Amino acid sequence: MSTEVQNNGTTYYITDGTADYPTAATTRYDHTESGLTANSVQAAIDELKNNIDVNKTGSGVANSRCFIEEITEITPEMWNDISTGAFKIVHVGMHYTAPSGRKYWFAEANYFKDKFENDTSFNHMVVVEDECLRTAQHQTTAATTGGATNSLIYTTTLPAYQSELDTDFGADHIKEIDLNLTTGVTDGEPTQGSWISKKSFIMNMCMVYGHQFPPIATSGRMRNAGNRMTQLMLFRAFPETIVSRLSSTHERYWYWLDDVLSATHFAHVYPYGFPGQNEAHRYDGVRRAFVIG
């Protein structure tokens, strides 16, 4: 028995001692005495196959197997893949175009699972909108009073358009999630937070960049982070997806984050992806994130 190997145009035969290789072979290797035979090579290949990631399951596989894949349907098999936590099909980088034409990125598997006392125990995928469908204000005046929970984006904009997400994914598949959001601001810094259930939200600096920026002090940064203190795998693997566009023009556009940065400013993302801030009463894009399962 022999195994054929091609290398730089030369054909090699690794044999187990039997002379079954072609007589016209360029080079013949018979390493029976050393143990390098066709059978041992095949055994090594089989062992390798049994140890690579494609044969493993779990959110870690979905989060490490990052590649962009265009999809136009979420099949029953894919929903089952998420709900069971197998994640052998669904992965970070899937780019879903819904029948409505709206587009979404699959951003991280089980981001909220079992990290805090109020975090979810069910398997899920965090999804982020590709483009901002609209603009909105955090407040009607340049004030961050009441933190993120008092923002008009949370109290008015997101609930008003929740039906879009229900249509694109199915209402039963949009999962309510507990977020630890800022509820109070003192001298320009967030000083209070609370657990609040939401079916959609806007991201914070940690989810987008993996860390926060001055001028907020350590205690304020903790409040802004809440239970969203790590960067989404989508943005780590494909930083170009941090950039978003306004759907009406398809041009790069600013979008809001919910970090309180002063008595007058919330954080936002610039059109070219770097972090910044804007007065609470200005109109920036609203780029929604949510959880499916």
For 122-142, the DSSP string reads S--EEEEESSB--EE-S-SSS
Q: What pLDDT does residue 48 have? A: 62
Q: Using the predicted structure, report yes or no on whether residue 115 has a pLDDT greater than 80.
A: no
Letter for the amino acid at 62?
A
Q: Where are the alpha helices (DSSP H) in the chain?
A: 38-49, 59-64, 76-83, 152, 158-160, 162-169, 205-209, 218-225, 233-237
Domain borders along the chain are 2-49, 59-292
Q: Phi/psi at 44 (nearest 5 deg)? A: -65, -40
The confidence band for 61, taking pLDDT boundaries of 50, 70 and 90, is confident
Q: Using the predicted structure, report yes or no on whether residue 30 has a pLDDT greater than 60.
A: no
Task: Label residue 53 exposed, middle or buried (CB < 10 Å: 0-12, 13-18, 19+).
Answer: exposed
Q: Using the predicted structure, report yes or no on whether residue 273 has a pLDDT greater than 50.
A: yes
Q: Using the predicted structure, report yes or no on whether residue 67 has a pLDDT greater than 60.
A: yes
Instruction: Over range 114-138, report the average pLDDT.
Output: 90
What percent of the chain has a predicted confidence (pLDDT) above 90?
Answer: 69
Q: Which residue has the higher pLDDT, 115 or 174?
A: 174
Contacts of 106 (CB under 8 A, 6+ apart): 90, 91, 92, 93, 94, 95, 96, 125, 126, 127, 234
CA triplet 94, 97, 101: central angle to 5 degrees? 160
Instruction: Over range 277-288, report the average pLDDT.
Output: 98
CB atoms within 10 A of CB 133: 16
Q: Using the predicted structure, report yes or no on whether residue 12 has a pLDDT greater than 60.
A: no
Q: What pLDDT does residue 114 have? A: 83
Q: Give tens-digit pLDDT for 164-218.
A: 999 999 999 999 999 999 999 999 999 999 999 999 999 999 999 998 876 566 6
Instruction: Over range 57-68, report the average pLDDT.
Output: 84
Q: Using the predicted structure, report yes or no on whether residue 87 has a pLDDT greater than 90.
A: yes
Q: What pLDDT does residue 4 have? A: 58
Q: Which residue has the higher pLDDT, 263 or 25?
A: 263
Token code pair at residue 38: 């066709």
Cβ atoms of 21 and 30 closer than 8 Å? no
Token code pair at residue 27: 């080079």
